[in-house]
Amino acid sequence: MATFGLIEYQDASPEVRAIYDDIMATRKTDWINNFWKAIAHDPATLKRTWDDIKQIMGPGALDPLTKELLYVAVSVTNNCQYCIASHTASAKNKGMTDAMFKELQAVIGMANETNKLVSGYQVEIDERFKTS
């Protein structure tokens, strides 16, 4: 159904292959998921996106698993099915347990509920939050 087909490794330009190689080396895996093969039609977007992901999702003040949970939270809120499936799998690979998955979903659901109660009741921001 994709507008473009997927660009497989053997059909990729050297420029794209170099990025595929870096993705596999960084992730210590031997395959490339469809997202990268789809955006590889635009090598500039492929490169920019991978460079950004590598910079942002690596270790830092937040650990990689926490970042993956955040990715799932955004993807669920946006109802992006591919993103939910791929980042839930990534989170598991990085150590998300079943118990963590369940709590993650509970928080996401709850946050979406209270976000709407706030809107519906037209709650104004407390002064204390403005100066925090």
Task: Please calculate the CA angle 6-11-13 and round it to the nearest 5 degrees.
Answer: 105
The single residue among 10, 14, 28, 117 that binds its own copies, judged by CB under 8 A, is 117
CA proximity to 69, closest of 102, 28, 35, 43: 102
Total of residues contacting its own copies (CB under 8 A) = 82
Helices (H) and strands (E) in the chain, counts: 7, 0
User: Does 3 sit near its own copies (CB under 8 A)?
Assistant: yes
Binding mask 27-66 vs its own copies (x if CB under 8 A, - otherwise)?
----x-xxx--xx-xx-xx--xx--xx-xxx--xxx---x
Percent composition of the chain: helix, strand, coil (DSSP 3-state, to 5): 70, 0, 30
Q: Which is nearer to its own copies, 21 or 114 (CB)?
A: 114
CB of 28 to its own copies, least distance (A): 15
User: Does 18 sit near its own copies (CB under 8 A)?
Assistant: no
Q: Which is nearer to its own copies, 14 or 128 (CB)?
A: 128
Joined together, the tokens standing for residue 104 give 């993650």
Task: Please calculate the CA angle 59-50-97 and round it to the nearest 5 degrees.
Answer: 45
The single residue among 26, 69, 94, 95 that binds its own copies, judged by CB under 8 A, is 69
